[in-house]
């Protein structure tokens, strides 16, 4: 157990997030997403929602510059409640998000460093986050 780390962030997930470099992507996927077909690294968190997992990841991973976050465009093109929750969890607004058509989203997700499949059952509860540059921690003793 680590102090100050969101308990959603398992050791396996933290290991992968730490190994990611600048602009590497992590997909936070809903339960419907073909994670194991598309991804070479998949972490399953079946009891958690996509927004909850995204918020935990954002507690340790900064967003890259435009676009730092992609969401899967809904069938009618409207912004769904789950997508608004994902934007809030990522700390972004409408202007900071790119909406990607469903099948194009799968293509964008395929080269991601990691896919985290959640238990989210609401449709279009998927997000792609690109890792920004992590700041330098303060020196020990300062």
For the question of residue 22 being annotated catalytic, the response is: yes
Query: Hey, how many other C-beta atoms are within 10 angstroms of the C-beta on 48?
Result: 17
- Give residues with Cβ within 8 angstroms of 141, minimum separation 6: none
Single out the catalytic residue among 22, 32, 36, 136: 22
Evaluated on CA atoms 18, 19, 20, 22, the torsion sign reads positive
Reported residue count of the chain is: 142
Residues carrying an active site annotation: 22
């Amino acid at each position: 157990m680590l102090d100050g780390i969101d308990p959603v962030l398992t050791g396996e997930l933290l290991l992968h997030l730490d190994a990611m470099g600048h602009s590497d992507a992590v997909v936070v996927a809903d339960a419907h997403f073909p994670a194991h077909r598309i991804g070479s690294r998949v972490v399953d968190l079946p009891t958690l929602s996509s927004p909850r997992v995204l918020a935990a990841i954002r507690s340790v991973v900064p967003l890259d510059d435009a676009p730092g976050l992609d969401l899967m465009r809904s069938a009618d093109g409207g912004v769904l409640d789950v997508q608004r929750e994902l934007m809030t969890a990522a700390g972004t607004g409408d202007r900071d998000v790119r909406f990607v058509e469903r099948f194009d989203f799968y293509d964008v997700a395929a080269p991601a460093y990691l896919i985290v499949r959640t238990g989210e059952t609401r449709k279009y509860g998927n997000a792609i986050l690109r890792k920004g540059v992590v700041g330098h921690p303060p020196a020990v003793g300062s």
